[in-house]
Amino acid sequence: MQQFFRLNEYKILLYRIVLVYLFYFITRVLFYLYNSDLLVVDSFFEFFRLYYHGLAFDTTAILYSNGLFILLSILPLVVNTKKGFQKFLFYLYFITNFIAWSTNFIDLIYYRFIFSRTTIAVVDSLEHESNKATLFGNFLVNYWHVFLLLIAFSYLWIYLYKKVKVSYTKPVVNVKYFAFSVIGFLVITTLCIGGIRGDFKKSTRPINMLDANRYVSHISQGDLVLNTPFAIIRTISATSFKKQDLVDPSVIAKYTKPIKQYSHNPSTKPNVVVFILESYAREYIASFNKDQNIPGYRGYSPFVDSLAQHSMIYTNAYANGFKSIHGMSSILAGVPSFKDAFTSSPYPKQKIQSLVSVLNDEGYDTSFFHGAPNGSMGFLGFGNILGIEHYYGKTEFNNDAEFDGVWGIWDEPFFQYMKNTLDTKQQPFMATLFSVSSHEPYKVPEKYSGKFPKGTVNIHEGIGYTDYALQQFFKEAKKQPWYDNTIFVLVADHGNTIAYDEYKKEFNRNTVPILFYSPNGKYAQPGVSAEWAQQIDIYPTILDMIGYKKPFRSWGRSLASKNEGEEPFVIKYSSNVYQFMSGNYICTFDGKKAIGFYDKNDKGMEKNLIANRNAEMDLIELKCKAFIQDYMERIIDKKLAEN
C-alpha cells in the first residue's frame, strides 16, 4: 500500500521542509541577538508573536527556493526512491537552500548600517565598487564569528537531513501509483501557491516587504518579521530605482522646487477628511466632464455632482500610479510610483515627511479607514511607516453581516462607521477612508438591487452605490459639531473600466477627480479649474489651506496658490515611458532623453512633434530630468524627510 500512496516519501519531504523552517527560525533568533539594541521587542512573548507573523514570509522564501526540489520529490518518476536520485535531491536541496538561507547571515551585521533587510539594491551598491574582493576579505576577518556560525549550522543541518532517509522501495508502476501521485501533486501544488502568495484570499495579493509592517507596534519590528531571502526575492524586479546624473543640482532647485513653504494663509487647524475612492475615475462624474463634448455622455455620481457645485474641482487631474497602494503614497505622502511602485521597492521603510507626519506634529489625531481585511493592499503596513495613529479595518468594524463576500465591508455601513468613529474624536483630526465597493466583481448589496443605473460598463452600478454611500455620510456628518470646521477631499486611487472613446486615449487612461470641499468657505472657494493637477498636489494643497508656515518636502504644488511661482504640471508613467505634461506639451521620456512631444490637446498622443523641437519643449525635458533625478536620489538616499 505504501508503494501506491508514497506516504513514506511525503513524510520525509515534510521533514525536510520543516528543517528549512527550523533553520530560518535559528537565523531569526541570531538576527535579533545581533541587533537587539535596534529592534524594539519588549518581551519573549512579543518575539514569538512577531515570529508567528514572520512564518508567512518564511513560507514564501522557502517555497521559492525549494520549488524545484519539491517538484522533483513528488513527480511520479519511478526512480524517486533510488539512491542516485536521492543523492541528486540532496545536492539540489542544499545548494538552493544555502544560497537563499545564508543571506540571512549578511544582515546579522549589515543591518546595523542600513537599518533594513538587505534587498536586491545591494547589488546596485556593489556594482560601483572596484574593490569587491578587499571588502569581502575585510568582512571575513572582522566578522569571523558570523562565518563560523554559518558553517556550524550548515553542518548541523546536513546531519539532521541525513538522519532520516528514504528507503528504496520498488514502485508498482500501475494506474494506482500514478493516480495517487497526481492527487498528491495537485494538493501539494495548491498549498505551495497559497504559501507563495501569503494566503488564499482574493482580497490580498502576493505579500511584499510592506506587509511585514502590518503586525508591528514599532517600525523596526518589520525587519524581524521579514527574512533576507524574501526581501531579495521580492525586490529582484524593482531595479528601476537608480540614481541618475541628468542635470546640475541647481536645475532641481530652480525647476522642481522640492522644498515648499507657504505663508499667505493664516494658521488654522481644521479637521481634514480624505476620501480615496476605489477606481472612481473622472470619467464617471458628470460635473468633471462638462467641457469634454463626449457624444452620449452620462455620469453616475449625482451626489458628487451636487457637492461639486460648492467645491473647488480640478477637471484635468491624473493619478501618479496605477494601483491602489500607489494612490495612497501619492496622495498622503506625495510620493508617486513610476515603472516600479515605491511601496514595493527596497526603499519604503524610511522616515517620510507627509501630510500625516506634518499633521501629527501639529497635534492632529490621524486615522485610516479601509473596510477590507486588515492589511489588504499593503495599507496597514504603509500607514505604520507614515505614522498613522489609528487603523480601522474589517476587524474593528466587527460585523461580517456587512461583508460583501469578496473585498470588504460594503461602503455605506463602513462610511457610517467612520462618521461614528470621528464623532468620538477630539479635534483637530485627520482621517483617510479608502473605499472598497466600486471594485470587481462590481456588486451592490441585494437590498439596493435595481436602485442604481446599470450603465454601459460593469462598474457603473457600483459607482452609483458608492456615490449613495457618500451622500449618506454627508447627510449624517452635517449634524455633527466637527463638520463645519472640516476640509473634505475626494479623489480616486486610479481609473478603471472605460466606457467612452475619449478616455481610451493614451493620455486619458488614468484620470481621476480631485475635489476640495469645506462648509467653511475660507478653506476651499467653489470653482472649476482645468489646469494640470495630480494626486501629489493634494498634500501641499492642504498644508497651504491650513496656513502651515514651515518648509516641507513636496514634489507636488499647492492647487490653492496662484502666486507662488509653481507652474502646473503632471508626471506619470505609462506605456514604458515617463509622461511629463507642462505648458503646451506632453513630453515622453525614456529615462535618459525625450523621445516624443505632443500638443497638450492631443490626448491620443498621435502626432509626435519632436522633429520640430522648440525652446519650450527643451525646458519641459529639463524639468522632467530634474524631477526624476531628485526623486531617485531622495528615495535611494532615504531623504524623504529632509527639507
pLDDT digits (tens, 9 = 90+) for 376-414: 888 999 999 999 999 999 999 999 999 998 889 999 999
Whole-structure pTM value: 0.81
pLDDT above 50 (res 563)? yes
Confidence band, pLDDT 50/70/90 cuts, at residue 93: very high
Residue 294 domain boundaries: 249-636
pLDDT above 70 (res 83)? yes
**CB-based burial of residue 606 (10 Å sphere; 0-12 exposed, 13-18 middle, 19+ buried)?**
exposed
Q: Residues of 94-114 as b/e, b for ≥16 C-beta within 10 angstroms?
A: bebbbebbbbbbbbbebbeee
Contact 490, 517 (CB under 8 A): yes
Contact 219, 349 (CB under 8 A): yes
> Per-residue pLDDT averaged across 306-311, rounded?
97
> Per-residue pLDDT averaged across 132-151, rounded?
80
For residue 643, tell me if it sits in a domain: no
pLDDT at 452: 97
Confidence band, pLDDT 50/70/90 cuts, at residue 179: confident
Confidence band, pLDDT 50/70/90 cuts, at residue 564: low
145 shares a domain with 274: no
pLDDT above 70 (res 135)? no
- Residue 409: give its domain's CATH number: 3.40.720.10
pLDDT above 50 (res 128)? no
For residue 243, tell me if it sits in a domain: no
- Reduced to 3 states, what is the DSSP secondary structure of residue 580? strand
198 shares a domain with 304: no
**Sign of the CA dihedral with 206 first, then 212, 213, and 214 last:** positive
pLDDT at 70: 92
> Per-residue pLDDT averaged across 526-546, rounded?
96
pLDDT above 90 (res 279)? yes
Q: Residues of the chain with pLDDT > 70: what percent?
A: 93
* Look-up of cell digits 463634448: 293
CA distance 305 to 463: 13
Residue of higher predicted confidence among 203 and 315: 315
Contact 347, 636 (CB under 8 A): yes
For residue 550, tell me if it sits in a domain: yes
253 shares a domain with 215: no
Report strand pairing: 365-370 vs 429-434: parallel
462 shares a domain with 339: yes
462 shares a domain with 404: yes
CA distance 169 to 374: 48
For residue 591, tell me if it sits in a domain: yes
Reading phi first (left if > 0) and then psi (alpha if -120 to 50, else beta), residue 414 is in alpha
152 shares a domain with 256: no
For residue 641, tell me if it sits in a domain: no
pLDDT above 50 (res 343)? yes
Task: List pLDDT tens digits, range 600-638.
Answer: 999 888 899 999 999 999 999 999 999 999 999 999 999
156 shares a domain with 203: yes
33 shares a domain with 181: yes
CA angle 542, 547, 550 (to 5 degrees): 95
Say how far residue 565 (Cα) sits from the centre of its chain. 32
pLDDT above 70 (res 121)? no
User: DSSP alpha helices (H): ranges in 204-273?
Assistant: 222-225, 228-234, 249-251
Confidence band, pLDDT 50/70/90 cuts, at residue 174: low
Range scoring the smallest mean pLDDT among 27-31, 406-410, 558-562 = 558-562
Q: Tell me which DSSP letter residue 282 carries.
A: G
Q: 168, 201, 234 — which closes off a domain?
A: 234
253 shares a domain with 223: no
What are the φ/ψ torsions at residue 390 (nearest 5 degrees)? -135, 130
CA distance 534 to 519: 24
Q: 12: which residues sit within 8 A by CB, 6+ positions away?
A: 164, 165, 166
Reading phi first (left if > 0) and then psi (alpha if -120 to 50, else beta), residue 293 is in left
pLDDT at 472: 98
Confidence band, pLDDT 50/70/90 cuts, at residue 91: very high
190 shares a domain with 119: yes
Q: 193, 210, 234 — which closes off a domain?
A: 234
CA distance 418 to 181: 52
Q: Tell me which long-range contacts 358-362 makes (C-beta under 8 A, separation of at least 24).
A: 358/543, 358/548, 358/552, 359/272, 359/428, 359/430, 360/387, 360/389, 362/269, 362/428, 362/548
270 shares a domain with 215: no
CA distance 23 to 25: 5
For residue 92, tell me if it sits in a domain: yes
pLDDT above 50 (res 263)? yes
For residue 239, tell me if it sits in a domain: no
Q: 234, 263, 291 — which closes off a domain?
A: 234
Task: List pLDDT tens digits, range 421-459.
Answer: 999 999 999 999 999 999 888 899 999 999 999 999 999
> Per-residue pLDDT averaged across 261-271, rounded?
92
pLDDT at 67: 92
328 shares a domain with 274: yes
Count of structural domains within the chain: 2
**Sign of the CA dihedral with 370 first, then 372, 376, and 381 last:** positive
For residue 241, tell me if it sits in a domain: no
